[in-house]
Amino acid sequence: MHGKIGQDRNQLFTTCLDDYIEPDNPVREIERIISEIVSSFDHRYLRGQSRRGCRAYSTEDLLCLYVYGYLNGITSSRQLERAARINLEVSWLLKNNHPSYKTIADFRKDNQEIVMLVFYQLVEKLSLGEYITGKLVVVDGNKTKANAKREMHSAKKLKKQIEAISKDVETYLRELEEADKKEAEAEKSSDSSKDDTDEAAPISSSIQERLAEAQANLSEKQSLLDQMTESKKNYLSPTDTDASLVTTRRGKVAGYNPQYTVDSAHHMIMDVLVSTDSNDKRMLYPSLKHLVEHTSIVPEVILADKGYTNFEDIRKVHNEISNQVYVSLQRSSRDSLDLLFEYDSHRNIYICPQGRTLTLYKKHVKVKNSFADYYKCESCAGCPQTEQCRKDKRSRKIDRIFLRYEHQEFIDAYKEKMKQANLKNLMKTRKSIIEHVFGTISCNMHYNGFRLRSMAKVQIEAYLHAIAYDLKRLFNIVMPPGSRPFIVNNSILRDNSVQNRERSLIFNVFSQILLSWLLKLGLLSRPCHFDHILTEA
């Protein structure tokens, strides 16, 4: 047959591990970046401080392993352990070490601060290289499934279950009391036979077993309800108690809502903050404050979708971070009508479009995270716009109540500003900047969500996904598909192919001479072939 003939499996190779990795392979850059970052770490972050016991795997090697794994969608510690044995790139990164899955898993679990430092130092390097500019940033949340079952405990259902189990416990106690009375009467009765008392004993023990089971179940349910009351949650996952009920493309699941801040220059992730909020309404200011505190990058222009419509947060961002914060506002059928209400500051009243007066009804009332004054119109009867004006169509009350918030002047001015045509066009670019970030990260997760449990550990994993995403973007920018240039000096990759070829040639020639000498002395039982080993100088 005219087919390819493979090499002999007994063929001896005399090459080093570095020869198997191409000079322009991205793993070389992963190793260089992580090495530079780790070299700047404080001494206390490095492993192997104690001389007792087995030698520790280095912090640098395990970080390289995780970055490579998350870059290639390998997030399981067992899969990473297997990759260290069968993957040449991983073997090169780990210098042919083979850590166990427990060592790998414990490093990720116990080193949140190290992973966080790596991410923010990478962001700093990207900022110095002008891959991140901070001129235009987009904030958005990506609701992601937690490592938990879909079923969650509901506070409403738990209360019903506790009531039902409590009734069962009361029933069992009554039955047990009646059984005890019958047993006592049977013992006292001189006419009763021994068989009657023998029949009563199994019944009593059966009731006691059911009672013990019901009491244990009641204690478990009550503990879950107390936990939900303490954490102010309506739903609780028994697997990951920090997770919240979030709505994803796959329905309602136990999950988290990580907030990503992405720069528009090269779509790099600048920051990620894991949240348990089921929506984005209260996360605009905390996300941007977290970014400024950890990176010292103050964004100039900020974009966010209508899920962040919270004027109190918008006002804080406007005053403390940037006055160019643009959030698509949520619209309702009453918005256009509310704008027609005129405020008379001298008389402190509102005048509706029909000319009727709304006077101050309540003052400085707490409304969610702000305060408002209530204005009420008591002459709405017979008004032609009553149906459009009322908030609750089913209510029998026809009086119109209007809320004037604590910072109403800012709210009115912001609503007017967001009507500008140039801002509407700017908001259209938001999706193209951030949405593909979510798609790439979800693909790396294999659409299965986070692997770790509890909010602190999920934050570690979110940082690792962000590191992997930024490096993937960097490699695609510097080395676009189809062209892998060698860039020397301070650039991303260095060309050491000449050095590798010279070293490989020296090793191969030396090995040929050594093995030929061993054959002549009869120390080898069979010949070895070297023709394919030699390379051209």
Give the pLDDT score at 491. Answer: 40
Domain boundary among 387, 408, 429: 408
Give the pLDDT score at 488. Answer: 33
| pLDDT reading at 44 higher than 80 | no
Give the pLDDT score at 134. Answer: 92
- Name the pLDDT band for 395 (thresholds 50, 70, 90): very low
Give the pLDDT score at 396. Answer: 44
Task: Characterize 56-75 residue by residue with b for buried, 16 or more Cβ atoms within 10 angstroms of its Cβ, and e for exposed.
Answer: ebbbbbbbbbbbbbbbeebb
State CA 83 to chain mean position distance.
24
Q: Give the lowest-confidence range in 7-11, 301-305, 483-487.
A: 483-487
Name which residue leads in pLDDT, 321 or 416.
321
DSSP reduced 3-state for 273: strand
Among candidates 258, 302, 255, 311, which has minimal Cα distance to 281?
311
Residue 128 lies in a domain: no
**What share of the chain has pLDDT > 90, as a percent?**
39
Which 8-state DSSP code applies to residue 326? Answer: E
Segment 120-135 shows an average pLDDT of 93
Domain extent, residue 386, equals 335-408
| pLDDT reading at 250 higher than 90 | no
Give the pLDDT score at 291. Answer: 96
Domain boundary among 343, 373, 408: 408
Both tokens of residue 331? 């619209």
Give the pLDDT score at 531. Answer: 43
Instruction: Name the helix (H) or strand (E) containing 136.
Output: strand 136-141
Give the pLDDT score at 532. Answer: 41
- Cα 131 to Cα 477: distance, rounded to the nearest angstrom: 9
| pLDDT reading at 1 higher than 70 | no
- Cα 504 to Cα 501: distance, rounded to the nearest angstrom: 5
Write the CA distances from 513 to 375, 517, 522, 530, integer angstroms. Answer: 99, 6, 15, 10
Segment 56-76 shows an average pLDDT of 93
Residue 230 lies in a domain: yes
| pLDDT reading at 217 higher than 50 | yes
Among candidates 382, 464, 408, 428, which has minimal Cα distance to 77?
464
**Mean pLDDT for all residues in the chain:** 82
Residue 389 lies in a domain: yes
Residue 369 lies in a domain: yes
Residue 398 lies in a domain: yes
Residue 43 lies in a domain: no
- Name the pLDDT band for 43 (thresholds 50, 70, 90): low
Segment 164-169 shows an average pLDDT of 90
CA dihedral over 461, 464, 469, 472, signed as positive or negative: negative
- Name the pLDDT band for 244 (thresholds 50, 70, 90): very high
Each residue's pLDDT tens digit, 473-516: 999 888 766 554 433 333 443 344 445 555 556 666 667 677 77
Residue 526 lies in a domain: no
Each residue's pLDDT tens digit, 283-298: 999 999 999 999 989 9
Phi-psi region for residue 524, left (φ > 0), alpha (ψ -120 to 50) or beta? Answer: beta
Give the pLDDT score at 231. Answer: 80
Both tokens of residue 215? 């009491």
Could you write out the DSSP letters of every residue in 50-63? --SSSPPPPHHHHH
Domain boundary among 376, 408, 440: 408
Name which residue leads in pLDDT, 265 or 521.
265
Task: Find tokens 């008004």 and name the residue.
Answer: 383
- Cα 285 to Cα 276: distance, rounded to the nearest angstrom: 15
Write the CA distances from 61 to 80, 101, 145, 159, 195, integer angstroms. Answer: 13, 14, 29, 51, 76
- Cα 432 to Cα 512: distance, rounded to the nearest angstrom: 58
Could you write out the DSSP letters of every residue in 336-364? HHHTTPEEETTTTEEE-TTS-EEEEEEEE
Residue 88 lies in a domain: no
Name which residue leads in pLDDT, 378 or 249.
249
Cβ of 483: how many Cβ atoms within 10 Å? 6
- What length is written for the chain? 537
Radius of gyration of the chain (CA): 35
How many separate domains does the chain show? 2
CB within 8 Å of 492: residues ≥ 6 apart: 29, 474, 475, 478, 479
- Cα 374 to Cα 362: distance, rounded to the nearest angstrom: 5
Segment 94-112 shows an average pLDDT of 93
Phi, psi of 326 (to 5 degrees): -125, 120
Among candidates 125, 424, 433, which has minimal Cα distance to 261?
433
**What share of the chain has pLDDT > 70, as a percent?**
82
Give the pLDDT score at 195. Answer: 53
Give the pLDDT score at 507. Answer: 62
Phi, psi of 421 (to 5 degrees): -65, -40
Give the pLDDT score at 534. Answer: 39
Phi, psi of 101 (to 5 degrees): -60, -30
Type of residue numbered 14: T
CB within 8 Å of 248: residues ≥ 6 apart: 143, 144, 145, 255
Type of residue numbered 501: R
Q: Are 114 and 85 in contact (CB under 8 A)?
A: no
| pLDDT reading at 151 higher than 80 | yes
Segment 59-88 shows an average pLDDT of 94
| pLDDT reading at 332 higher than 90 | no
Q: Label the pairing between strands 235-236 and 244-248.
A: unpaired
CA dihedral over 461, 462, 465, 466, signed as positive or negative: negative
- Residues pairing with 218 in the sheet: none
